[in-house]
Amino acid sequence: MAQTSPTFRRRRLARRLRQMREQAGMTLEAAAPRLDKTRSSLGRVETGQSRADVHLVRSMMDLYDHYDPDLLDLAREARRPGWWTKYNIDDRGFIGMETEAATEFEASIVHVPGLLQTEDYMRAVFASGLTTARGDRVAARVHRQARLADAEFPLELVAIVDEAALRKQIGGVEVMRDQLQHLVEKAQLPSVTLQVLRNRDGAHAGMDGSFILLSFPDEEELDLLYVSHIVGSLHIEKPEEVAAARLAFDRLRSEALSPANSVAFVERMRDEL
């Protein structure tokens, strides 16, 4: 099931293009006009916000006096549609990055993490949104979940869930009972670590909201912090901010129940419904 993500390829290409310019000893201000770009537009290319086509990459290699055919391949890969487009999903970057990630750390305060949701639970969550989203989001999420059991390139998930999220009866009693049973079953996967933050333990480091951290197998790739909000999301790469989020996540892990005790806790909640 190993896949490639144009989002990820664009980010990798951007980093390589920036490095190539810097190695040539050129500033953005000096390079931009010689590439028929403004400083800001070239800056967007070097941060992965804008695509660099093959023609631009060739021009950059000529200007920087450095030929690398791998860059041309990356430019071509970055233009190919991502797997999620077949579900008519308009991804803003997260799905593409998750596709290439090796580990996902998720602190979920208000609902069960998406990768551990049942289809009925998903539908109930999506139905509660402010707007009607395009595409088959349920099918796309099920597709993403398959990575947890993929033999070729599995995604490791470390999920910390607030007890309040588990007690909220999204979709009704039956849907929630099935969801809790689903959590118990998924926690048995070698790729999944589930921990629960109990209500009785009071305030914790995740009180400001849910967040996700992605780490990648390529050591050159910076970890990514993803924070969703009511009208969009933030993708944060600044090392100091990502490090602060990782510190908060590690603190949450130390405050949460152990994986074994968390599963037993979820089982008791399931039996109480």
Mean pLDDT of the chain: 91
Q: Alpha-carbon distance 104 to 102, whole Å?
A: 7
* For range 198-204, the mean pLDDT: 90
CA gyration radius for the chain?
Answer: 21
Q: Alpha-carbon distance 235 to 94, whole Å?
A: 8
* For range 188-212, the mean pLDDT: 93
Neighbours of 71 (CB within 10 A): 21
* For range 105-111, the mean pLDDT: 95
At residue 218 the predicted structure's pLDDT band, cuts being 50, 70 and 90, is confident
Distances in whole angstroms, Cα of residue 70 to Cα of each of 47, 58, 75, 183, 254: 18, 11, 9, 42, 43
CA torsion, ordered 115, 116, 119, 123, to nearest 10 deg: -70
Answer yes or no: is pLDDT of 167 > 60: yes
Residue 103 dihedral angles phi and psi, to the nearest 5°: -140, 140
Predicted local confidence at residue 132, as pLDDT: 53
DSSP string, 51-82: ---HHHHHHHHHHHT---HHHHHHHHHHHSPP
At residue 2 the predicted structure's pLDDT band, cuts being 50, 70 and 90, is very low
DSSP string, 8-21: HHHHHHHHHHHHHH
Predicted local confidence at residue 270, as pLDDT: 97
Percent share of the chain, pLDDT over 70:
96
Answer yes or no: is pLDDT of 61 > 70: yes
Domains of the chain in sequence order: 6-80 (1.10.260.40), 85-272 (3.30.870)
Answer yes or no: is pLDDT of 1 > 50: no
* For range 34-60, the mean pLDDT: 91
Angle 137-145/119-127 helices, nearest 10 degrees? 140
Predicted local confidence at residue 77, as pLDDT: 83
Q: Which two tokens stand for residue 110?
A: 């208000």
Is residue 53 a contact partner of residue 79, using CB atoms and an 8 Å limit? yes
Answer yes or no: is pLDDT of 114 > 90: yes
Among candidates 157, 45, 150, which has minimal Cα distance to 98? Answer: 157
Identify the weakest region by mean pLDDT among 1-10, 24-33, 122-131.
1-10
Q: Tell me: the pLDDT tens digits for 116-153?
A: 999 999 999 999 875 555 669 999 999 999 999 999 99
N residues, the chain = 273
Predicted local confidence at residue 133, as pLDDT: 57
Neighbours of 40 (CB within 10 A): 10
Q: Which two tokens stand for residue 112?
A: 């069960």
Answer yes or no: is pLDDT of 94 > 70: yes
Percent share of the chain, pLDDT over 90:
68
Say whether pTM exceeds 0.85: no
Distances in whole angstroms, Cα of residue 74 to Cα of each of 68, 80, 91, 153, 181: 10, 10, 20, 20, 43
Predicted local confidence at residue 155, as pLDDT: 97
Instruction: Name, in order, each residue with C-beta under 8 angstroms of 78's C-beta and a sequence gap of 6 or more.
Output: 6, 9, 10, 13, 51, 52
